[in-house]
């Protein structure tokens, strides 16, 4: 869909649903491929290929009749095709100059009725298993794609700041709540779980220290299954204890650090 077609579609929708000019939502969706963290980005229209920041976080203005959670779910679905994703709000970004960069003006003028309006955005984040979802972008998203977190150095507007704050939020949250239920396979080895934590914190973790601490949390069930067809000693598989896991999600625990 070209930008002109999208603008017409947006205008048509606005006759029955009024878009707020001043409030938007942006979504940071993390995925794990077994080795490193990825972030879901959208590639905007072809006309934007001449700018440094064609890729962006999935985000858009909200409708006046929506609450913020509804808007985040709708926007993520429209731009990536993802549905039934648990999104957690982690911050608000309201710097008066957040959408004033010169390189962002052509796109804003093409898709916004009032491109100079100040916009405050509410940011959400999610953790998902990449292989469980099929991407199906629409609206002004030409493509939705997974990009390794370490490879992202530039994004439009203040999206790079939003991304960095989401990473800090994820790391702080990981110290007081378990992660992995939405990122790891249904059954996994302790080594695979350790790789997830190393990807989140971007550092090597002592093997014995990690295993001791994660087992002491009693959040895992040890299975009577081992790896097959591997060159090294087969590792034992584990599953999350759902009851314990969700209890920790609600109540938290005291500083899981290593």
pLDDT of res. 236: 95
Q: Which pLDDT tens digit goes with each residue over 182-217?
A: 999 999 999 999 999 999 999 999 999 999 999 998
| Domain 190-251: CATH class, spelled out | mainly alpha
> How sure is the predictor about 51, in pLDDT bands with cuts at 50, 70 and 90?
low
The model scores a pTM over 0.85: yes
Inform me whether the pLDDT recorded for 2 exceeds 70: no
- Judged by DSSP in three states, 136 sits in coil
Torsion-angle region of 157 (φ positive above 0: left; ψ -120 to 50: alpha; else: beta): left
Map tokens 């584990």 to a residue: 238
Q: Which pLDDT tens digit goes with each residue over 16-46?
A: 579 999 999 999 999 999 899 999 999 986 5
Cα–Cα dist 123/57, whole Å = 10
Arithmetic mean of pLDDT over the chain: 89
- Ranges of each domain in the chain: 3-174, 190-251
CATH number for the domain formed by residue range(s) 3-174: 3.90.79.10
Cα–Cα dist 190/173, whole Å = 20
Higher pLDDT, 122 or 109: 122
pLDDT of res. 235: 92
> How sure is the predictor about 67, in pLDDT bands with cuts at 50, 70 and 90?
very high
Cα–Cα dist 58/62, whole Å = 13
Alpha helices by DSSP H, listed for 122-241, are 159-174, 190-201, 207-216
């Amino acid at each position: 869909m070209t930008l002109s077609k999208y603008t017409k579609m947006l205008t048509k929708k606005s006759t029955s649903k009024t878009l707020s000019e001043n409030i938007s939502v942006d979504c940071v969706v993390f995925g794990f491929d077994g080795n490193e963290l990825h972030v879901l980005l959208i590639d905007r229209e072809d006309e934007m290929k001449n700018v440094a920041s064609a890729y962006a976080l999935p985000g858009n203005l909200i409708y006046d009749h929506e609450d913020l959670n509804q808007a985040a779910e709708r926007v993520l679905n429209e731009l990536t095709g993802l549905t039934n994703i648990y999104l957690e709000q982690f911050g608000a970004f309201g710097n008066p100059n957040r959408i004033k960069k010169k390189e962002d003006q052509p796109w804003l003028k093409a898709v916004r009725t009032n491109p100079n309006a100040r916009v405050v955005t509410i940011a959400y984040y999610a953790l998902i298993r990449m292989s469980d979802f099929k991407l199906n972008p629409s609206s002004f998203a030409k493509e939705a794609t997974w990009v390794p977190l370490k490879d992202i150095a530039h994004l439009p507007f203040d999206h790079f700041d939003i991304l960095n704050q989401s990473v800090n939020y994820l790391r702080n949250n990981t110290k007081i709540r378990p992660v992995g239920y939405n990122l790891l396979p249904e059954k996994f080895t302790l080594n695979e779980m350790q790789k997830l934590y190393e990807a989140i914190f971007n550092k090597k973790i002592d093997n014995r220290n990690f295993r001791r601490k994660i087992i002491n949390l009693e959040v895992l069930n040890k299975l009577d299954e081992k790896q097959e067809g591997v060159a090294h000693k087969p590792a034992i598989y584990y599953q999350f204890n759902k009851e314990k896991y969700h209890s920790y999600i609600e109540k938290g625990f005291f500083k899981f650090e290593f």
